[in-house]
Structure 1
């Protein structure tokens, strides 16, 4: 198996895809800051194998879903 995370694509969302939430950056002044002011660059090289989706909402803060089934008919 080549699953990443739970094996579900990021687009499947909560209860299907893996996620990190309430992300913060610890800066050079020793202060925690939300990342939505400076959203990091993210990408995947094989969307048919794995993917990632970033979002922000009040309850979860900055978060992203990630994952995928890995090797499959559409992933080479």
Structure 2
């Protein structure tokens, strides 16, 4: 994925099937965001990144199979 210079937004919605679980969204070479996913309501988490330089990197989700999730990344226009 290409990330442009400036502010990007990373949002994650998650819900665990049984007990509370953790979800981590990892952006290679930049960092990661971790959130708790409860079993009784959807958790909505938003993070902001202000990048000094554009780069290309992979995004991955690390979570147990019991977690349902949706991720959205908004990057500045090129």
Q: With structure 2 as the length reference, what TM-score do the two structures score? A: 0.32
Q: Of Structure 1 and Structure 2, which has the larger fraction of its residues in strand?
A: 2
Larger Rg: 1
Q: Of Structure 1 and Structure 2, which has the larger fraction of its residues in helix?
A: 1
Greater relative contact order structure (CA < 8 Å, 6+ sep): 2
